[in-house]
Copies of this chain bind each other. A is one copy, B any other.
Amino acid sequence: MLLGQVIGTVVATQKESSLMGLKFLLVRAVDENKEPTGATVVAADVVGCGMGEYVLYATGSSARQTRATDNRPCDATIMAIVDQWEVGGEVRYKK
Q: Which residues of A contact B (CB under 8 A)?
A: 1-3, 7-16, 18-19, 24, 26, 28, 31-32, 37-38, 40-43, 46-48, 51, 56, 58-66, 71-77, 79-89, 92
A-B contact pairs, 14 of them (CB 8 A): A1-B24, A2-B41, A2-B42, A3-B40, A10-B84, A14-B80, A16-B66, A16-B77, A31-B40, A37-B38, A51-B88, A62-B63, A62-B74, A65-B73
State in angstroms the CA–CA spacing of A43 and B61 once bound together. 16
Q: Measured between C-beta atoms, what is the minimum distance from A62 to chain B in Å?
A: 4
Bound-state Cα–Cα, A58 to B77, Å: 12
A3 to B76, alpha carbons, bound, how many Å?
A: 13
The answer on a CB contact under 8 Å between A12 and B64 is no
